[in-house]
Structure 1
Amino acid sequence: MPEILLFNKPFNVLCQFTDEPQYSGERETLADYIQRPGFYAAGRLDRDSEGLLLLTNDGVLQHQISDPKHKQPKTYLVQVEGDITPQAVKQLKIGVELKDGMTRPAVAKKINEPKWIWQRTPPIRERKNIPTSWLELTITEGRNRQVRRMTAAVGFPTLRLIRTKIGPYQLNNLQPGESIMQKAQS
């Protein structure tokens, strides 16, 4: 029976169960949080990103979730450097030209800082003269570091990136390092 594990990946945790030998014991991996044999990550989340990561014990389901051709929408809360402009948000909605081509249109909106978000350890770098702002961004692609590259391309570098949704699965109130088992949704 396919099962799916929703995990809130903390900042600085590798999205794999083992690390390269030269870093043995120096960096946290999924094995520091998840002790379920036969479960594997369905997709990736960069070490410097936080939030929802799905793991499953079913190879077909893993493929459906992680394969870009299935276009699972992924939603992120993004803290950017500067006060993001309406023009930048509009450009994210239309699509952004990156070195590897134009992105698909995204769903993007500027939001207030979410009150429910946990403090990051270590905290983001703060600059006295440069404000930060937040946006919610939903994409249907999975290019390498895509959200970070998109916000940088419109002039607002990402400081913090938290994935909150993948398809029908949501982070809800899981705290960093916590996980919950769910039935797989079709």
Structure 2
Amino acid sequence: MSQLYLLHKPYRVLSQFRDDRGRATLADYLRAKGVYPAGRLDYDSEGLLLLTDDGGLIHRIAHPRHKQPKTYWAQLEGEIDDEALAALRQGITLNDGPTRPARARRIAPPTVAERTPPIDPRRHPRTGWIELEISEGRNRQVRRMTAHVGFPTLRLIRAAVGPWQLGDLAPGEWRRETLHMPRTTRGKSRRRAAR
């Protein structure tokens, strides 16, 4: 039995529990002992962050080998065109190599809380939103992908990781789920005994 916490990480909060520089951390929002993030979200990104007390579950969620799809809502500078969407869907080559094809589509602005501070409409008078699903997790990958096709990301919200959804959690809110999962070592010891 594992405890899984689904947290809506706010903007400008670190995906860790301590910081020597006094920035906001997960400890400001979640007071659960012995839990660790399964993956991370950048300081300037928002949305779903999963935390658990189960190291095996962290591995199954976060390790690239398991290819958990991650869904993001990105507010872009400008309104993305069909050519840029097609490039995201085919996969693009970044400075650390080609990306896998992504699922990408335009969406209406999602129903989410206003970011503090908000995007400045004088600096960015025209914006548009896309939903992007990727199955890899390189450093700042979504931001680099949208910038590569000519539409830099202004706001980034992770909406889902695998089957877990952000849902109606407001920034800073969390909910807990109890997972009844088989132990990952059980199958290995049976295989060894059968040899």
Relative to the length of structure 1, the TM-score reads 0.94
Q: Unpaired segments of 5 or more residues in structure 1?
A: none
Structure 2 residue 146 is matched with structure 1 residue 151? yes
Q: Does the CA contact (< 8 Å) of 1:168 and 1:185 recur in 2?
A: no
Residues 93-102 or 119-128, more deviating = 119-128
Q: How does 1:52-71 map to 2 (within 5 A)?
A: 52-71=48-67
Question: What is the aligned counterpart of 1:34 among 30, 45, 49?
Answer: 30
Q: Does the CA contact (< 8 Å) of 1:11 and 1:49 recur in 2?
A: yes
String of CA shifts for 1:92-128, please: whole Å, max 9, x gaps. 00001100001000000011112x2110001123236
Q: How does 1:1-186 map to 2 (within 5 A)?
A: 1-19=1-19, 21=20, 23=21, 26-114=22-110, 116-127=111-122, 130-184=125-179
Q: Unpaired segments of 5 or more residues in structure 2?
A: 182-195
Report % sequence identity: 56
| Aligned residue type for 2:18 | T
What is the number of residues matched between the two proteins? Answer: 181
Matches of 1:3 and 1:154, distance apart in 2: 39
SS of 1:87's partner is helix
Q: Does the CA contact (< 8 Å) of 1:8 and 1:179 recur in 2?
A: yes
Matches of 1:112 and 1:53, distance apart in 2: 23
Alignment RMSD (CA, Å): 1.3
How big is the shift at 1:130?
4.1
Matches of 2:119 and 2:157, distance apart in 1: 13
Task: Call closer, same or farther: CA 1:129–1:160 in 2, change over 3 Å.
Answer: closer
